[in-house]
Amino acid sequence: MAAPEAPDRRPLGVLLDAGGVFLLPEHGRILGAFERAGAARTADELDRAHYAAASGFHTGLDVEDDWAGSWGEYLTAYALACEVAELEQDEVHRHLGREFADAAVWLRVAEGSREGLRALADTGVRLGVVSNADGLIAQRLRALEILQVGPGPGVEVECVIDSGDVGVMKPDPRIFRIALEAMDLAPEDVWYVGDMPAIDVVGARRAGLRPFMMDPFEHHRDESYDTIRSLTNLADRIRALPAARSDSPAPADGGHTGGPPVFTLESAFQAAEEDRIAYWVGDFLASRGSDNGALAVGIADRPHEWLGPVRLPTDRLERLAGPESDVICAIEPEEWEGDVDDMGASIEEGWQPPPVLVEYRDGHLLLQDGNHRYEAMRRSGSSHVWAVVWTDDRADRDRLAAELAQ
C-alpha cells in the first residue's frame, strides 16, 4: 500500500517495538529449523518472509482470545512466504515453532535500523521502546549498541518497557500507558512503530497512540493505518511537519474546548482530498476526548467505502447512544444532558463541531460516533449535520451520494 500523506503535526514522542523494527529472527537458527524439517532454504528469503507474515497478522485476529491459533497463522504465512510445499508445511511449522518460542531468536539487527534511529533522534522527538519480550530486551538492545536508557554506545532513549518486566503484553493498552507515564507524555502526542497489526495497531489505538507499521517490502494492504519503509523514512516525514503543540490539551468529544482543535471539519475535508479519510477517522476515534478506540479497531478490521464529509438531514440519522432505554449505548440522563448542554453552549459561542461518523447499512444512517454532538446541533436548530459515512458496499455509497446530490 502506498504510504498516506503525513499527519498534520509533529509528534512529541515516538515509541518503538523491538522485533521487526530493530531485531529480526536470527538467520542461522531459522535456516537450521528448515533443514531439520527437510526443507532447506536460503538466508535471502527470511527477512522478507517475516514482514510478509507480519502483515497477515491483521487487526481482525483476536490474539488475546486465541494466541496459539493466531501465532500459528504467522508461522504458516512465514513458511508460505518461503515457498514451502504443502506436504512439508506441518513439519516446518513444528520446527519453526520451537525456534520462535525462544525470544532470544530475535538477534539479527535489521538493516538500517541503527542509522534510522539516529535520524529519528536528530528530529528532536523523545524516544522509548515498548516490546513484548522476556525481560531481557533492554539488555540485548544495549549489547547490540542500538539503544539504551541513559548514556551508552547506542542512541539514548527515555524508557524500555518490556512485557516480561511489567507483566502486561500488547495489545493491552496498559503497557503503552506505562511508557507514557514514564515519559510524561499524552497519548495524542505520541506515535508507535511496530510490525504486527493485530498487536501493534490494535494496542496503540486502544491507548490513543497513532500506529505506524514497518513495511520495507510493501506487503500491507490495510488502508486504516500508516506504513513506513524504514525509520529514516519516518524521520523524513517528521521533519516535514509543523512542530507539535505541547501546550494545548486535547479537546473533549471532537474539539469543543481547550485550545485549537486537532480534529476539525476543515481537517476532515483535507484528509478526504488527500484520500486518507480512513486514517483521519481512526486517529480521531483513538484520540483523547473521543476515546472510542474500540470502534477504531472495529473499523480497521477491513476496508470500507467512504463518503464525505457530507451534509446529512438530522431527521435521517439514527442515534445509537443516549438516555433512552432502547439505545445500544445507554447513558445516565444527568450525564447526557450535562454533556449536550455544554456542547450546545459551545455551538452558540461559534464552535464548529467535527463531522459525526455514520455507518450506512441496509438503508439506515446509524450514528456510530458523535451522538452528543448530533443532539446538541439538533437542539440548536440545525436541520443538517456534517458527517463522514462508511459502508461495506460501493453501490450503496454511490446510491447515497446520488441521493444527497439531488
Cut 0.75: pTM above it: no
| pLDDT at residue 1, as a whole number | 36
pLDDT at 113: 97
Contact criterion met (CB below 8 Å) for 360 and 389: yes
In this structure, which topology does domain 13-20+110-239 adopt according to CATH?
A: Rossmann fold (3.40.50)
Return the C-alpha cell found at 112: 538500517
Q: What are the domain boundaries of the chain? A: 13-20+110-239, 23-107, 265-405
The predicted pLDDT at position 248 comes to: 35
| pLDDT < 70 positions in the chain | 1-8, 222-223, 243-262, 287-294, 296-302
Contact (Cβ atoms closer than 8 angstroms) between residue 199 and residue 132: yes
Measured in degrees and rounded to the nearest 5, phi and psi for residue 98 equal -65, -40
- In this predicted structure, what is the pLDDT of residue 173? 92
* Per-residue pLDDT, 140: 95
pLDDT at position 92: 87
- How far is Cα 245 from Cα 248, in angstroms, rounded to an integer? 6
Shared fold status for 13-20+110-239 and 265-405: no
- Between helix 67-81 and helix 89-100 the angle, nearest 10°, is 120
CA 119 remoteness from chain centre: 22
CA distances for 131 relative to 18, 31, 227, angstroms: 6, 25, 19
Q: How many residues does the chain have?
A: 406
For 265-405, the fitting CATH number among 1.20.120, 3.30.1600, 1.10.3470, 3.90.1530 is 3.90.1530
